[in-house]
Amino acid sequence: MLVLLPPSEGKANPGEGAPLEPESLSLPGLTAAREAVLGELVELCSGDEEKAREVLGLSEGLRGEVAKNAGLRTAGTRPAGEIYTGVLYDALGLATLDAAARKRAADSLLVFSGLWGAVRVTDRIPSYRCSMGVKLPGLGALAGHWRTPMAEVLPAAAGDGLVLDLRSSAYAAAWRPKGEVAGRTATVRVLHAPTRKVVSHFNKATKGRIVRGLLTADAAPKDPAGLVEVLRELGYVVEAEAPGRAGKAWSLDVLVDEIH
């Protein structure tokens, strides 16, 4: 099973950890594309601060993120699973998993990123600010930058099992499973059952709880139909829609009564 996650806007301070080693990150086929984004981002943020803020879409209160990006090559690092914070990652609670579940997380979770493309939760990265929606002056829109290298690398990373896609639309734009891989991919929405509306906070929290439940239960469904069965066994109300034709992902709605 491969679980595709969005990153978080908020990130922990890595402290005095060892500096970044781009060649040590997982999915080495993305190294050249990572270096291209990293190089332009550092250059951008080492120059005109106002221009950098505009390109990155940062408010006045986030001005300090520009200097942080300028120092990415020498900044301390921590495992990505410790860097990413926020609602989904709080609910997932990687640090509180037992050793076996943490091992499953290391093997199955893949976090998408405007800067790194995608990383494992064990990959050591610095804190940064660069969303997938950014359009860098030289490279252009990051989602477009990542499509070709992702298409070359991600099908192999997906293996022959289930792909559980929990990404937001901005990050899904960087890689959309196709063909046979798409047929064993499931996307998930979390809906407030009484209103049938998506609400951001509990959408993220429920997705984090779903991933935690799969990891702690040592569940490894092979396909979307198996995932539906496992989620129902874990107590979720799930409505599933199989694709109308080959080469399309399944759509799953998880219905939640309470907004929390």
pLDDT tens column, 114-148: 999 999 999 999 999 999 999 999 999 999 999 99
pLDDT digits (tens, 9 = 90+) for 11-49: 999 888 899 999 999 999 999 999 999 999 999 999 999
Q: What is the pLDDT along the chain (260 residues), one digit of tens a residue?
A: 999 999 998 899 988 889 999 999 999 999 999 999 999 999 999 999 999 999 999 999 999 999 999 999 999 999 999 999 989 999 999 999 999 999 999 999 999 999 999 999 999 999 999 999 999 999 999 999 999 999 999 999 999 999 999 999 999 999 999 999 999 999 999 998 888 888 777 889 999 999 999 999 999 899 999 999 999 999 999 999 888 888 899 999 999 987 65
Q: 31-45 and 142-158 are packed helices; what angle lies between their axes, rounded to 10 degrees?
A: 150
Per DSSP, the residues of 218-230 read T---SSHHHHHHH
Report the relative pairing of strands 2-5 and 163-165 from DSSP bridges: parallel
Query: In the structure encoding, which two tokens stand for residue 8, read together?
Result: 């978080």
Report the predicted TM-score, pTM, of the whole model to 2 decimal places. Answer: 0.95
Cβ 161 vs Cβ 2: under 8 Å: yes
